[in-house]
Structure 1
Amino acid sequence: MVSAALLSSAKLVSALAVSVAVSLGACHSDDSAAARAQTTQPAPTKRRAVAKAPVAKATCVTTNDTLAGQPFGTEPTVAELLSAGAKVVSRKPFANLHEKGQTDTILTLQHQGNQFEFYCMPEQRLLRRAVITNFRPAYGQRLRQTLDVSARLNGGSCIKMQIRDTERVNNVSATFSDGKPAVARVEPYLD
């Protein structure tokens, strides 16, 4: 009987040992599965901060007597434009509003894609209007500098810009493409 009790307790210990071993193995395999799951999941990616390009303002308006009054710096003259290869597009007679009987001329010149309109009197020729689409000539580069200064005064780039003087008689307006002037219109005051 004692031997039967010992045998029975030995079986019980063996069964208990097997049960504990299986339980430990199961736990161990659960830990391994959890470890494998962690290693097979993609590592979280860090998002990089993408620098956004500055957004251009829709319209910038600057009141500056110097920039509006002298957008080219030194204004191109009829003689300079003709000597640089400008072509006369038209000559239109225009009755002088201040001198009775005097007929003046509106002279339109085309130079490298740019158009200039001058009010011509016997004693002088005044720029009436200019439309600049080619900024490569020297006068175009000077105008671009004026537009760049105006953009800086407005705190950045603009899609459209208007520069005027305090009297609001001299006006320069420009449209920009990719931060560079595409078309500029210069309209000085004429009486």
Structure 2
Amino acid sequence: MESALLSFRKPALAVLLLYAALGLVSCEAKGPPATVVAKPKQERRQPVAAPQPVAPKASCTLTNDTLAGQPFGMEPTVEELLNSGAKIVSRKAFENLHEAGQTDTIITLQHQGNLFEFYHSPEKDLLRQAVITNFKPAYGQRLRLTLNESARQSGGPCGQLRLRDTDHANMVSATFTAGQPSLARVQPYLD
């Protein structure tokens, strides 16, 4: 009888082992039961508009003795300009108003597209006027910094900027294109 029980148990045991194996295999294939998580509702946000660029004022005027008196910082000299490739465009005799019989010279130089006019006397050269359209030379970069600072002090971008000193003697006027100086005229005080 024992052999009958063993023979009965063996197929039952085999079937039981088969079901257990299939159950394990099916658990591995399915993985853990999936849980469904409801997504929180997303708030609809209104798109943030990009800040609009500030339109430049048509013209600005600023009184600043330092900036108007020294728009280049260190002013270029005739000698420096000539040494860096400037060409003399014209020389014109000019009678000195303070020294009887003395004739001085007005010299016009062109340097990298920029024009400089100097009053040349035996004592020194005085800048009468400069027209700057090329801001790449060192003096142009210094002037650009002065003009940008002047525009900032006057409240923002300007189309035209006039910079002067308290006595209205030294004048700098500039035209800005795309927020940067494109043309500047420097007119220092001369007696």
Instruction: Indicate the TM-score class for this superposition, using the shorter chain for normalisation.
Output: 0.7 to 0.9
Name the CA distance, whole Å, in 2 between partners of 1:50 and 1:183: 31
Partner of 2:138: 138
Name the CA distance, whole Å, in 1 between partners of 2:138 and 2:122: 28
CA-CA distance at 1:90 after TM superposition: 0.3
TM-score scaled by structure 2?
A: 0.75
CA-CA distance at 1:51 after TM superposition: 2.6
1:88 aligns to 2:104 (yes or no): no
Name the CA distance, whole Å, in 1 between partners of 2:50 and 2:65: 40
Give the alignment of 1:2-41 within 5 angstroms.
none
Partner of 1:110: 110
Deviations 1:38-76 (A, max 9, x none): xxxxxxxx6752431111011111100000000000000
Deviations 1:74-132 (A, max 9, x none): 00000000000000000000001111111000000000000000000011000000000
Q: Which runs of 5+ in 2 are unaligned?
A: 1-45
Supply the RMSD in Å over aligned alpha carbons: 1.5
Partner of 1:72: 72
Name the CA distance, whole Å, in 2 between partners of 1:65 and 1:51: 34
The amino acid that maps onto 1:154 is: S
Name the CA distance, whole Å, in 2 between partners of 1:63 and 1:120: 29
Partner of 1:62: 62
**Count of residue pairs the alignment pairs up:** 148
The amino acid that maps onto 1:188 is: P
Name the CA distance, whole Å, in 2 between partners of 1:49 and 1:166: 42
Name the CA distance, whole Å, in 2 between partners of 1:56 and 1:168: 24
Name the CA distance, whole Å, in 1 between partners of 2:86 and 2:69: 24
Partner of 2:154: 154
Partner of 1:179: 179
SS in 1 for 2:130: strand
Name the CA distance, whole Å, in 1 between partners of 2:143 and 2:107: 21
Partner of 1:10: none
Name the CA distance, whole Å, in 2 between partners of 1:81 and 1:95: 25
The amino acid that maps onto 1:186 is: V
Q: Which runs of 5+ in 1 are unaligned?
A: 1-45
1:170 aligns to 2:141 (yes or no): no
Name the CA distance, whole Å, in 1 between partners of 2:48 and 2:122: 68
Deviations 1:139-185 (A, max 9, x none): 00000000011011012110000000000000000000000101000
Partner of 2:124: 124
Name the CA distance, whole Å, in 2 between partners of 1:47 and 1:143: 41
Name the CA distance, whole Å, in 2 between partners of 1:154 and 1:97: 38
Q: Percent identity, please.
A: 66
